[in-house]
Structure 1
Amino acid sequence: MTADGPAPNPTTLRLAVGLIMLEAAAVAVVTAYLLWQDLTGRATVMSVAIGVTLFAAIGVVVLAAVGRALARRRSGARGPAVVLQLMVIVIGYYMTQGGLVWPGVGLIVLGLVTGGLVVSPPTTRALGLG
């Protein structure tokens, strides 16, 4: 705490929040595409198509909520942020196994970097955990 108010967020926390919000924006784009496909495409099983779209929409909400909580220095957001990054790494791994090597490697690196920023000592101290 400074004389002018709370200390500014450390760079590691700001970067982590920015990357998580970027992930939320990317999933929002995917959700919009899925919604478009639901409305205009020919799904074999419409209930599955709607379920996938809803799952993606929930992902946007969760990512944005965790990013916002981290930006507000809520210590309870660190665990969910780490879990989300582990999910990003797993998705990247399966993308590489499915033939999408470079996008998959990109997601793995994104998950590792963002997860590392979330658990870094400056972020840990800013969240009041260390």
Structure 2
Amino acid sequence: MTTDRPARPPMPLVLALLLVLVEVGALVALAVGMLVEVLSGRTTGGPVTAVLALMFLGICALLVVAARALLQRRRWGRGPLVTWQLLVLATGLSQSGVIPGWIVALLVVLPVAVTVGLLVPPSVAWANRTAPPRAVV
């Protein structure tokens, strides 16, 4: 049985998922730093900061699972990843007057690049697998 679908994921999808892993790495570093501050007593918002850090780690787990799902041609992974990119983009735009310009540029360009990589036609075709027809009884 042959198929017209490629055996390897398209390059835009691979690049988008690599960028997602970069985001996950940054978020894990932030969460670990927050937990270190809580455990060392260097922060005044101990329980709140700890809960926020654990929430960030949960988001990281979801992003990794969603990225893996897309590599396995499961289209449900696209939803959480695009949603996260929209949240990162909104954060970058809302903080444009507060944080340095290069960080704003990073928080705008990165999610746009990831979203484009996830939504170009080859990436969408990769994840949209169809089940073989079943016999009607």
Same fold (TM over 0.5): yes
Normalized against structure 2, the TM-score is what?
A: 0.83
C-alpha RMSD of matched pairs (Å): 2.2
Offset, 1:37? 0.8
Match of 1:78 in 2: 78
Distance between the aligned counterparts of 1:53 and 1:28, measured in 2?
Answer: 9
Q: Provide the secondary structure at the position in 1 that maps to 2:95.
A: helix
Of 105-114 and 5-14, more deviation after overlay is shown by 5-14
TM-score by length of 1: 0.87
Q: Which residue of 2 aligns with 1:23?
A: 23
Q: CA deviation at 1:26?
A: 1.2
Please identify the structure whose Cα radius of gyration is greater: 2
Post-superposition CA distance 1:103-122 (Å, at most 9, x none) = 12111100000011101111
Structure 1 residues 16-69: Cα deviation after superposition (integer angstroms, max 9, x where no partner)? 111111111111111111111111133323221112211211121122111111
Aligned pairs for 1:85-124 within 5 A: 85-124=85-124
Residues 85 and 115, structure 2, Cα contact 8 Å, conserved in 1: yes
Tell me by how many angstroms 1:2 deviates: 5.8
* More helix, by proportion: 1
**Equivalent residue number for residue 13 of structure 1:** 13
AA at the equivalent of 1:125:
A
Kept in 2, the 8 Å contact 1:95–1:103? The answer is: no
**Structure 2: 5+ residue stretches without partners:** 130-137
| Structure 1 alignment gaps of length 5 or more | none
Q: Which amino acid aligns with 1:48?
A: V
Q: How much does 1:6 deviate?
A: 5.8
1:34 maps to 34
Work out the CA distance in 2 between the residues paired with 1:123 and 1:100.
33
